[in-house]
Amino acid sequence: MGGACYKPPVAEMDLLSWMESRVRARTLPRHVAIIMDGNGRWAETRGRSRVEGHREGSRSVRSVTREARKIGLEALTLYAFSSQNWGRPDEEVGALMQLLAEYLDSERAEIMDNRIRLHTIGETGRLPGFVRERLESVRAASAGNDGMVLTLALSYGGQEEIVQAAQAAARVGPVEADALEAHLWTAGLPPLDLLVRTSGERRISNFLLWQAAYAEMVFVETLWPDFRETDLLGAIADFQQRERRFGLTAAQVTSG
Ligand code: IPE
Ligand code: IPE
Ligand code: MG
């Protein structure tokens, strides 16, 4: 699945286009972020290695990115590797870095063809050289693209981000919310509207702590390797049913 040769059966294709037209008919979230969780469990229940779960998960990244671009999201942010994930066994960390490099090589053309701009957030200086070189190359090549911004959170931690932003803000003046926000790695991206987490876990795990202040949260049971186009559209449809109040009363929001 996910490759150029994948043709969904007719019924599945109908469901996909029906869901696309439904979410397009209402206001889309500008910025969707996803905690891509459950690769290990997906593999373990099949008697396969965790690394195979990550490999299948990278296929979901392709499908979901393509769909997000197709429906016209402005920004998609994917939590691919946390600051805390460095503590996993060396073999798993190494395999994840290898997969990331393979992903960047294989997706470069698709990113360019779809005018996607690749961005990263996190302490990317900690990534191995062979990953940093590829990231920098795709980032630079795609910098002028005017389509969706695809942000990969790599070696990312929300607390780490806030600490560095506070330190940077303090160097130039008083630490106020706007000043701090300007130094977050997400500066320049649209505000976060929707945060999705797969695999049934209901926690934020150090992702976009500041940015999630008024984001709508959708938690789904689906494991990340099983999360594909229709699952993204389902999460967006859920978001579109919500009333966002930002601290105001329902009456204020509906009259505004
Ligand atoms: C998410 O899947 C991918 C990363 C954190 C890199 P996990 O590897 O956390 O999968 P589970 O949660 O163990 O099933
Ligand atoms: C969050 O998932 C990090 C990513 C999806 C990259 P984890 O699997 O690392 O989070 P916990 O350990 O369940 O909180
Ligand atoms: Mg996990």
Alpha carbon of residue 235 to chain centroid = 13
Residues 195, 197, 199, CA angle at the centre, nearest 5°? 170
Low-confidence residues of the chain: pLDDT under 70 = 1-10
Does the reported pTM lie above 0.75? Answer: yes
Q: Which long-range contacts (CB under 8 A, 24 or more apart) does 250-253 make?
A: none
* Assigned domain for 29 exists: yes
Catalytic site residue from 37, 39, 193, 206: 37
Q: What number does the ligand 1 atom closest to the CA of 96 have?
A: 6
Would you call 90 a catalytic residue per the annotation? no
User: Which residue lies with its CA nearest to atom 11 of ligand 2?
Assistant: 205
Q: Print the domain residue range for 18.
A: 12-255
* Assigned domain for 37 exists: yes
Residue 168: its pLDDT value, please? 98
Residue 1: its pLDDT value, please? 45
* Assigned domain for 187 exists: yes
Would you call 37 a catalytic residue per the annotation? yes
Q: What HEC string does the chain produce?
A: CCCCCCCCCHHHHHHHHHHHHHHHCCCCCCEEEEECCCHHHHHHCCCCCHHHHHHHHHHHHHHHHHHHHHHCCCEEEEEEEEHHHHHCCHHHHHHHHHHHHHHHHHHHHHHHHCCCEEEEECCHHHCCHHHHHHHHHHHHHHCCCCCCEEEEEEEECHHHHHHHHHHHHHHHCCCCHHHHHHCCCCCCCCCCCEEEECCCCCCCCCCCCCHHHHCEEEECCCCHHHCCHHHHHHHHHHHHCCCCCCCCCHHHHHHC
Distance 234 CA to ligand 3 centre (A): 22
Give me the amino acid identity at 73: L
Residue 11: its pLDDT value, please? 76
Pocket flag, ligand 1, residue 83 (CB < 6 Å)? no
Which tokens sit at 193? 């509207």
Q: What number does the ligand 1 atom closest to the CA of 82 have?
A: 5
CATH classification at residue 237: 3.40.1180.10
Pocket flag, ligand 2, residue 155 (CB < 6 Å)? no
Q: What number does the ligand 2 atom closest to the CA of 80 have?
A: 6
* Assigned domain for 7 exists: no
Residue 38: its pLDDT value, please? 98
Pocket flag, ligand 1, residue 230 (CB < 6 Å)? no
Residue 4: its pLDDT value, please? 57
Rounded CA separation 115/148 (Å): 7
* Assigned domain for 83 exists: yes
Distance 232 CA to ligand 3 centre (A): 19
* Assigned domain for 1 exists: no
Q: What number does the ligand 2 atom closest to the CA of 156 have?
A: 6
User: Which residue lies with its CA nearest to atom 8 of ligand 2?
Assistant: 37
Number of domains observed in the structure of the chain:
1
Distance 93 CA to ligand 2 centre (A): 13
* Assigned domain for 2 exists: no
* Assigned domain for 121 exists: yes
